[in-house]
Every structure is written in structure tokens, then in C-alpha cells.
Structure 1
Amino acid sequence: MSGIAEEITTAEVTPGVRIPFIGLGTWPLTGEDAAAAVSSAIASGYRHIDTAENYANEAAVGKGIRRSGIERGQLFLTTKFNTGWHSQRGVRDAFGEAVKRLGTDYLDLFLVHWPNPAQGRFVEACEGLQELVDDGSIRAWGVSNFKPAHLRLVQDTGLDVPLNQVQVDPEHGQPGQLGYHRENGILTAAYSPLGRSGSFLGHPAVSGPARELGKTPAQIVLRWHVQQGRVAIPKSADQQRQRENLDVFSFALTQAQLDAINALETGAPPRLDSDTYFH
């Protein structure tokens, strides 16, 4: 993708590094299921694959990438590391293990998966990630599940956090969290962007635009994400659904439609509290 098309379908993480708005989430797929889903998604046009150490599928994701035949430079590959690596040296070791499992020699995006504030070393982990960017091992770094309080501690060192991957869907809109991201120039990546139960997919705020535009409810919600500047990482092993999830750039929602979906916000916190949950 290049030119205007790239501007529409990608977002800038850091200067010169753009991430496709729609990525393939791979949790909880493992083994051949993960490899098949990745190769199918790439054949359908995906260029952004998201995995993690804790998903125990990095080797399978790498297998799926090789099976697809795509050139590595055409793909945006994200993975995340666990809190056992939270130190500057530990992050370098985590990178070495991750690229070995994936079968690549660099990463496009490497994320701290959980802050684990009780351990108190996530700031060191972020400093280690910046070192990996500086020496060319990774193209960009970011965090996942960081609350504003965690982000501030990183920013207090002078580091700018490029991206935070958090749970966002119409019922878990996290307006305070996303507001902090906007104020501080942090790109939001939404995991579980279609929710875990999908109960809101039948709400008139979603089903109405789906009927009017001839799209699926899932496409409407994914469009709601990307039209508001968020990367979205839906998971699907079904090729037809993969293609539908990727096909959200040929239509637009009106401001009234966006507002109606925003109004589905319940105020519920993320499913897991990153002050206490980690791996």
C-alpha cells in the first residue's frame, strides 16, 4: 500500500513507521490452528499480525508467515513480552527469544504486555525497548494495558510512549484512558475490539447502520474504531470473516452514527485490572 491508500489504512506509530489499522489477533489460537489462520489472513490481504510470548503461538505464527510466502518487509509484526523480562538487559534477552521463535531477525513493534506495578520495573523495560529501537533491532515499541498512572511514570523519564494496546469496544469505551492517549500523542490499539460476548452487535446503533450500508455488524464496529483513529485487532480463524473484518475502508459512518455507538459505553472497566493482573 502506498500514497493515499496507505494514509487511509495505516496510522503513524513513530515518524516513518506506519501500522495497518486492522491487524489479526492470534490469541488463543495455537499450533496448526494459529499457523493456518495467519497464512489465510495474509492471503486475504492482512499485513499486520499480532501475537505475544504468553499466547504460546509465536512459533506457529512464524510458520504461518513463512507458509504464506510473503516477504518479511511487507508485513507488520507485533509481539509482547512477559514481566519476567522487565529490565533493560531482560528486554534484550526477551527480544532474542521472540525473534528466534518467530523465525525473523527484527520486529516492527515490541510491547510490554502488562505493567505489573508491584514489581516496579516496567519503566526499565520501556528504557530497554528504546535501546532496541536505537540499535535497529525493532522499528517501534509500545506498551499494553498501561493505565494513565503507569504511562506517567514512563513519561517522567523523558520517554514518549508511542502506542498503548488496551481493551476497547462500544461497551468498554474507556473514555478517560483514551482521552489521556489523545492528550499525550499515544496511538491506541484496541484488543477484543468486537467485545467478548458480542452482545452489542444486535443493538440498533450497530445493526441499523449495518442494514443501511449493507455491511455486517462487526464491520460497523471495526469502522467505528478506525474512523476514530484506533488500530483494531480482531481475532478470527475463518477466512470469510477475516476478509469481512479487513473490508472496512470502502465506507464511512456519519457523526451521528459514531455518536450512537459511543453512547453504548457502560462505564465498565476492562475485564482485567492491570494494577493486579499480569503475566
Structure 2
Amino acid sequence: MRRLDMISEQNAKLSSALQAQAKSHAADMRLLKQEVDRKIVAVNKLRDEFESKIASVIERIEATSASVSVPASAQPVTANPDGWDASQSYELVFWREHWPYRDLPLTELQTMRHGDAVWFLKQMGFAQTSEMSFDGFQGKVLEAGSGPIGFFELIDNVDVTAQDTLMDLYAEHLPYSTIGKRGSATYTGTPVPQLQERFKYVVCSNVLDHTADWIEFLRDCCALLEPGGELLLVTDSRGVPMEGHTQVFSPQQLRMVLKILGAKSFLIDRTEAVTDGHCDFRNYVRAAF
């Protein structure tokens, strides 16, 4: 009996200790809840203040924008079908009659375009690891507006779709152009919006100002990027259109449109002023989506 009494006494003490501990925990939880509630109130207050400030800034921007007239030469030219037709004719004539290297043998042209690829990829921040390869530049690539002979035929570790809406005409009229696969590139005249694949990289080199609608063209190109893909872009920009270059946009407008289209970060973002009369600026952009 004495042993049972001892066990009963120990159980009573343990029960009492557990009850005291539970009461202490309950008190701690009440204090914690009160602290959390106070912080929620404080956060909500800060949020309301922030939203109020943002609304005020937006009102000031809208009021300022309404009172400022933008010169026509500074406004972007987008849809321009008449200029587009003329630009396409200009391109075909240029490559057939005026491109200084048009009479070189194909192997020399491929080597020369490989040099262009090396220059382009270095501008985009890729490190050359061998004569024909670059660190990170591999996988499926779209070269949008590649012209009759693209950059990447000799680059290793890439599967390139070299696209140009004039490719069928190029292949018909230019001895150095083709349809189908050559080297690492597969040439096609399929318009960008009709392509069904997704790409790790979309390359646009000196194309954007030649398009019928630069914003629509960018949208179509960005839509073909796989998640985490990158747009590699070099483009001239100017304040007024010129022969073969129908689109007008500023460097600021270019970046704004890319952000709207979903660019998450800019790994390369550089603009150079140009004074040769051909354009106003040259833009180098590597944007991750």
C-alpha cells in the first residue's frame, strides 16, 4: 500500500506540474498573439500609407503627362505596312546587289559570319571556351531575322532555327542562301508567330528597326522563350525612319516594352550614342524572362 501511495503522490505532483506548465504556455501564447496582432495592425497601417503615396504619385504623373506634348519625332512608329513592304524590297536588293561579300565562296562567308557570331556573343557577355563554343550558349536557339546566312552555322552545342520572312526568296536568288539544315542552323521562312517550338535563347541582331511593328515583333519573339530563357538583342534606334529602317523608338521605350513583356532582369543593358548619321543609338540588351 505504501508503494501505491508513493506512486499516487508522484502522479499528483506530475499532474500539477503539467497543469502549471500548460497555464504558463497558454499565457505565453496569449502574449504572442497580442504581439502578432499589434504587428499586423502596424503592417496594415504602413501598407495603407504606401498605397496612398503611390496613388498620389500616379496622380501627379498623369497630371504632368496630360500637360506635356510629345514631339511626333519622339513617338514610336509601330504598325507601318507600307514602310514594311519597301523595307523588304530594300533587304532583298541589298543582299543580292550591294552586300560587299556576296561573291565570296560559301566557306569564306561561313567563316566571316562565325566572326560576327563571336563578336555578338562576347557583346552579350558569353565567354569563349573554344574556337567554336561559348560557355552557357547551348541548346535551342532562334535567330529571328537572320538574313540569308546566319551567325551560328559553325557554333557547336546549339540547335539553331535561322528564321527570316524572306528566306524563300533569298534561297531562290542568292547562291549562298538555303532552306533547311546547314551546319548548326536550320533555315526557314516561317513567320515568327507561326513557329511552334520554344527556345532557350532568341537572338535579334540588327532586326528590330527593319520590322513592320517592332513591339509586335518583340512580343512574338519573347513568347517563344522557354521559362528562364533569354532575349539577346542588338539594335539601332533613331528618331526618324530611313530607307530600309521603318521603325522609330528610343532606348527608353525599348526597355519599357521589354519590361512590360515580362523581362525579369537585364544581364546586359548598354546604349551607345552613334554619330555617323545612320542612327542615333545602338542598344545591347540581354534580358532574362
Rg comparison, structure with higher value: 2
The alignment's TM-score, normalised by the length of structure 1, stands at: 0.30
Structure showing greater relative contact order (alpha-carbon pairs closer than 8 Å, 6 or more residues apart)? 1
The alignment's TM-score, normalised by the length of structure 2, stands at: 0.29
